[in-house]
Amino acid sequence: MKKYLFVFLLLLSGQFASAQVDRTVDDSMIRASRAKTNEFMASHDVAGMARYWRSDYVRISGNGELTVGKDSSVAFWTMTFKRQPTIYYVRTPAEVVISEDGSWAWETGTWTGMNTKSKGGNYSASWIKQDDIWKIQNEFFITLSHY
């Protein structure tokens, strides 16, 4: 009986260990996705950026402007990059929190604006995992620094 109890506890502890590994993997996946969105932003690749947005993506900019839907955000960034050909932003995650069931994540960090009057601030983003792919549900930016 002790032998079976030991094996059961060993197997159970392995399940908890794998759950921790999954959170670490998910955290790494989100951080890598954020790095890619920064690269696409810097090169003004709107299609690349949009790969990480859900179809119902919502963005609230640092000045409070609301953009609802992936298509609207694609149009916004296409026009922004056309009007301001040197502008881009870098988002730097400080923390990524994965939900207990591993389907949602909350990212917080700071952002820096390049070649724009809004120089930086804080942001938060929520991510949803579907079919093992993380996509951004929404992003909320607060401007805390100007010229």
Over residues 86-141, the pLDDT tens digits come to 999 999 999 999 999 999 999 999 999 999 999 999 999 999 998 999 999 999 99
- Strands 104-114 and 133-146 turn out to be unpaired
Into how many domains does the chain fold? Answer: 1
8, 71, 136 from 2: Cα distances, Å: 10, 60, 48
Task: Give me the CATH number covering residue 38.
Answer: 3.10.450.50
Q: What is the pLDDT of residues 66-85, one digit of tens each?
A: 999 999 999 999 999 999 99
The values of phi and psi at residue 52, to 5°, are: -95, 0
pTM: 0.82
What is the extent of the structural domain holding 12?
2-146
